[in-house]
Protein backbone atom coordinates (compact mmCIF):
# COMPACT_ATOMS: atom_id res chain seq x y z
CA UNK A 1 0.00 0.00 0.00
CA UNK A 2 1.40 3.38 -0.89
CA UNK A 3 1.08 6.07 1.71
CA UNK A 4 -1.18 8.87 0.63
CA UNK A 5 0.52 12.20 0.54
CA UNK A 6 -1.50 14.63 2.58
CA UNK A 7 -1.03 18.16 1.35
CA UNK A 8 0.48 20.39 4.02
CA UNK A 9 -2.40 22.85 3.90
CA UNK A 10 -4.85 20.05 4.61
CA UNK A 11 -2.79 18.94 7.61
CA UNK A 12 -2.68 22.45 9.03
CA UNK A 13 -6.44 22.82 8.62
CA UNK A 14 -7.09 19.49 10.33
CA UNK A 15 -4.86 20.46 13.25
CA UNK A 16 -6.69 23.77 13.40
CA UNK A 17 -10.11 22.10 13.46
CA UNK A 18 -8.99 19.83 16.31
CA UNK A 19 -8.02 22.82 18.45
CA UNK A 20 -11.17 24.67 17.37
CA UNK A 21 -13.12 21.74 18.81
CA UNK A 22 -11.16 22.02 22.07
CA UNK A 23 -11.94 25.74 22.21
CA UNK A 24 -15.61 24.98 21.67
CA UNK A 25 -15.64 22.40 24.45
CA UNK A 26 -13.79 24.70 26.84
CA UNK A 27 -16.28 27.50 26.19
CA UNK A 28 -19.26 25.15 26.50
CA UNK A 29 -18.03 23.89 29.87
CA UNK A 30 -17.64 27.47 31.08
CA UNK A 31 -21.00 28.33 29.50
CA UNK A 32 -19.57 31.19 27.52
CA UNK A 33 -21.17 32.06 24.18
CA UNK A 34 -18.82 33.27 21.47
CA UNK A 35 -18.89 34.87 18.08
CA UNK A 36 -16.31 35.37 15.37
CA UNK A 37 -16.61 38.64 13.45
CA UNK A 38 -15.07 38.64 9.99
CA UNK A 39 -14.90 41.52 7.51
CA UNK A 40 -12.67 43.39 5.14
CA UNK A 41 -10.58 46.20 6.68
CA UNK A 42 -12.67 49.28 7.38
CA UNK A 43 -16.08 47.62 7.24
CA UNK A 44 -16.66 48.60 10.86
CA UNK A 45 -15.91 45.56 13.05
CA UNK A 46 -14.56 47.61 15.93
CA UNK A 47 -17.33 50.20 15.65
CA UNK A 48 -19.91 47.43 15.71
CA UNK A 49 -18.28 45.88 18.77
CA UNK A 50 -18.23 49.22 20.60
CA UNK A 51 -21.90 49.86 19.76
CA UNK A 52 -22.88 46.34 20.76
CA UNK A 53 -21.04 46.69 24.08
CA UNK A 54 -23.09 49.81 24.83
CA UNK A 55 -26.31 47.89 24.22
CA UNK A 56 -25.57 44.70 26.10
CA UNK A 57 -22.83 45.21 28.69
CA UNK A 58 -25.30 46.05 31.46
CA UNK A 59 -26.89 42.62 30.99
CA UNK A 60 -24.06 40.33 29.91
CA UNK A 61 -20.48 40.02 31.10
CA UNK A 62 -18.31 40.09 28.04
CA UNK A 63 -14.77 40.16 26.77
CA UNK A 64 -13.25 40.94 23.40
CA UNK A 65 -10.45 39.09 21.61
CA UNK A 66 -8.96 41.08 18.82
CA UNK A 67 -6.62 39.95 16.09
CA UNK A 68 -4.16 42.26 14.38
CA UNK A 69 -1.33 41.59 11.98
CA UNK A 70 0.89 44.11 13.77
CA UNK A 71 1.26 44.89 17.48
CA UNK A 72 -1.03 47.92 17.41
CA UNK A 73 -3.49 48.23 20.26
CA UNK A 74 -5.74 51.03 18.97
CA UNK A 75 -8.87 48.86 18.73
CA UNK A 76 -8.14 46.96 21.95
CA UNK A 77 -7.57 50.26 23.75
CA UNK A 78 -10.95 51.55 22.57
CA UNK A 79 -12.60 48.46 24.00
CA UNK A 80 -10.66 48.65 27.28
CA UNK A 81 -11.74 52.26 27.66
CA UNK A 82 -15.35 51.00 27.86
CA UNK A 83 -14.32 48.92 30.86
CA UNK A 84 -14.46 45.66 28.90
CA UNK A 85 -11.77 43.00 29.14
CA UNK A 86 -9.80 42.87 25.91
CA UNK A 87 -7.08 40.52 24.75
CA UNK A 88 -5.04 41.51 21.75
CA UNK A 89 -3.62 38.79 19.51
CA UNK A 90 -0.69 39.83 17.38
CA UNK A 91 -0.80 37.35 14.51
CA UNK A 92 2.81 38.11 13.57
CA UNK A 93 1.87 39.05 10.03
CA UNK A 94 -0.68 36.27 9.47
CA UNK A 95 -3.78 37.66 7.79
CA UNK A 96 -6.29 35.62 9.82
CA UNK A 97 -6.86 34.22 13.29
CA UNK A 98 -6.55 30.50 13.84
CA UNK A 99 -7.77 28.24 16.62
CA UNK A 100 -4.40 27.98 18.47
CA UNK A 101 -4.17 31.78 18.68
CA UNK A 102 -7.66 31.92 20.13
CA UNK A 103 -6.81 29.10 22.55
CA UNK A 104 -3.91 31.19 23.91
CA UNK A 105 -6.17 34.21 24.27
CA UNK A 106 -8.84 32.19 26.10
CA UNK A 107 -6.21 31.16 28.66
CA UNK A 108 -5.86 34.83 29.58
CA UNK A 109 -9.57 35.32 30.30
CA UNK A 110 -11.63 34.49 33.42
CA UNK A 111 -14.04 32.28 31.48
CA UNK A 112 -16.17 31.34 34.48
CA UNK A 113 -17.02 35.00 34.99
CA UNK A 114 -18.09 35.65 31.39
CA UNK A 115 -21.28 35.21 29.36
CA UNK A 116 -20.00 36.25 25.96
CA UNK A 117 -16.74 36.55 24.05
CA UNK A 118 -16.61 38.61 20.88
CA UNK A 119 -13.70 37.79 18.59
CA UNK A 120 -12.68 40.40 16.07
CA UNK A 121 -10.87 38.60 13.28
CA UNK A 122 -8.20 40.19 11.08
CA UNK A 123 -9.67 42.39 8.34
CA UNK A 124 -9.61 40.08 5.32
CA UNK A 125 -12.35 38.50 3.19
CA UNK A 126 -10.39 35.42 2.15
CA UNK A 127 -8.58 33.15 4.60
CA UNK A 128 -10.47 33.77 7.89
CA UNK A 129 -13.21 31.66 6.29
CA UNK A 130 -10.90 28.62 6.22
CA UNK A 131 -10.01 28.64 9.93
CA UNK A 132 -12.64 27.59 12.42
CA UNK A 133 -12.07 29.14 15.83
CA UNK A 134 -14.57 27.14 17.85
CA UNK A 135 -17.12 29.92 18.24
CA UNK A 136 -20.89 29.38 18.43
CA UNK A 137 -21.54 31.68 15.52
CA UNK A 138 -19.66 33.34 12.69
CA UNK A 139 -20.74 36.63 11.25
CA UNK A 140 -19.57 38.92 8.47
CA UNK A 141 -19.75 42.69 8.60
CA UNK A 142 -20.06 44.19 5.13
CA UNK A 143 -20.47 47.85 4.33
CA UNK A 144 -22.09 49.92 1.62
CA UNK A 145 -18.86 51.52 0.27
CA UNK A 146 -17.36 48.06 -0.39
CA UNK A 147 -19.89 47.50 -3.17
CA UNK A 148 -22.75 45.08 -3.75
CA UNK A 149 -20.65 42.52 -5.67
CA UNK A 150 -18.67 41.15 -2.70
CA UNK A 151 -20.76 37.96 -2.25
CA UNK A 152 -20.04 37.13 -5.89
CA UNK A 153 -16.30 37.86 -5.66
CA UNK A 154 -15.55 36.36 -2.24
CA UNK A 155 -18.18 33.62 -1.84
CA UNK A 156 -16.32 31.50 0.73
CA UNK A 157 -16.48 34.01 3.54
CA UNK A 158 -20.31 34.13 3.32
CA UNK A 159 -20.82 30.37 3.29
CA UNK A 160 -21.93 29.01 6.62
CA UNK A 161 -22.20 32.34 8.39
CA UNK A 162 -25.02 32.84 10.87
CA UNK A 163 -25.54 36.53 10.30
CA UNK A 164 -24.61 39.20 7.82
CA UNK A 165 -24.44 42.73 9.12
CA UNK A 166 -24.54 45.42 6.49
CA UNK A 167 -22.97 48.53 7.99
CA UNK A 168 -22.95 52.17 6.85
CA UNK A 169 -26.54 51.86 5.62
CA UNK A 170 -26.77 55.65 6.06
CA UNK A 171 -24.59 55.96 2.92
CA UNK A 172 -27.11 54.10 0.72
CA UNK A 173 -28.58 57.29 -0.84
CA UNK A 174 -25.13 58.41 -1.99
CA UNK A 175 -23.60 55.20 -3.32
CA UNK A 176 -24.59 52.94 -6.18
CA UNK A 177 -25.35 49.83 -4.14
CA UNK A 178 -28.15 47.45 -5.09
CA UNK A 179 -29.45 46.02 -1.84
CA UNK A 180 -31.44 43.27 -3.59
CA UNK A 181 -28.50 42.14 -5.70
CA UNK A 182 -26.27 41.99 -2.62
CA UNK A 183 -28.83 40.12 -0.57
CA UNK A 184 -29.55 37.64 -3.34
CA UNK A 185 -25.84 36.89 -3.52
CA UNK A 186 -25.74 36.10 0.20
CA UNK A 187 -28.93 34.06 0.12
CA UNK A 188 -27.73 31.97 -2.81
CA UNK A 189 -24.65 30.98 -0.79
CA UNK A 190 -26.32 30.79 2.54
CA UNK A 191 -30.13 30.74 2.74
CA UNK A 192 -30.13 30.52 6.55
CA UNK A 193 -28.15 33.66 7.33
CA UNK A 194 -29.79 36.40 9.35
CA UNK A 195 -29.55 39.83 7.79
CA UNK A 196 -29.15 43.13 9.63
CA UNK A 197 -28.92 46.60 8.11
CA UNK A 198 -27.14 48.91 10.51
CA UNK A 199 -25.28 52.16 10.79
CA UNK A 200 -22.68 52.48 13.51
CA UNK A 201 -22.72 56.21 12.81
CA UNK A 202 -26.44 56.89 13.28
CA UNK A 203 -27.14 53.87 15.50
CA UNK A 204 -29.80 52.53 13.10
CA UNK A 205 -30.36 48.79 13.50
CA UNK A 206 -27.92 48.38 16.39
CA UNK A 207 -30.66 47.60 18.89
CA UNK A 208 -32.29 44.99 16.63
CA UNK A 209 -28.96 43.24 16.13
CA UNK A 210 -28.06 43.43 19.83
CA UNK A 211 -31.41 41.98 20.88
CA UNK A 212 -30.93 39.10 18.45
CA UNK A 213 -27.43 38.45 19.84
CA UNK A 214 -28.67 38.55 23.45
CA UNK A 215 -31.38 36.06 22.53
CA UNK A 216 -28.76 33.67 21.14
CA UNK A 217 -26.72 33.97 24.34
CA UNK A 218 -29.79 33.33 26.52
CA UNK A 219 -30.85 30.32 24.45
CA UNK A 220 -27.34 28.91 24.76
CA UNK A 221 -27.25 29.48 28.51
CA UNK A 222 -30.65 27.84 29.02
CA UNK A 223 -29.60 24.87 26.90
CA UNK A 224 -26.41 24.39 28.90
CA UNK A 225 -28.00 24.71 32.33
Binding site for Zn ion (CB under 5 A): 95-96, 127
Q: How far is the CB of 124 from Zn ion (least distance, A)?
A: 6
Interaction of residue 75 with Mg ion, rule CB under 5 A: yes
Q: How far is the CB of 74 from Mg ion (least distance, A)?
A: 8
**Residue among 12 and 188 whose Cβ is closer to Zn ion:** 12
Among the listed ranges 9-17, 31-39, 44-52, 217-225, the one in contact with Mg ion (CB under 5 A) is 44-52
127 binds, among Mg ion, Zn ion, none (CB under 5 to 8 A by kind): Zn ion
Contact by Cβ (8 Å): 45, 37: yes
Question: What are the CA-CA distances from residue 66 to residues 76, 97, 151 (Å)?
Answer: 7, 9, 24
Interaction of residue 167 with Mg ion, rule CB under 5 A: no
Interaction of residue 88 with Mg ion, rule CB under 5 A: no
**Residue among 44 and 151 whose Cβ is closer to Mg ion:** 44
Which one of 34, 40, 46, 121 is in contact with Mg ion (CB under 5 A)? Answer: 46
3-state helix vs strand vs coil in the chain, percent to 5: 45, 20, 35
Amino acid sequence: MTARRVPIVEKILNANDQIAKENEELLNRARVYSLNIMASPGAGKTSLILQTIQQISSQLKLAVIKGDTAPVTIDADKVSECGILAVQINTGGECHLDAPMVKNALEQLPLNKLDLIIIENVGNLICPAAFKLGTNINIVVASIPEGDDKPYKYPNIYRGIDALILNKIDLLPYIDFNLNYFRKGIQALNPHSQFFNISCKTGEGIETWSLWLMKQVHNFKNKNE
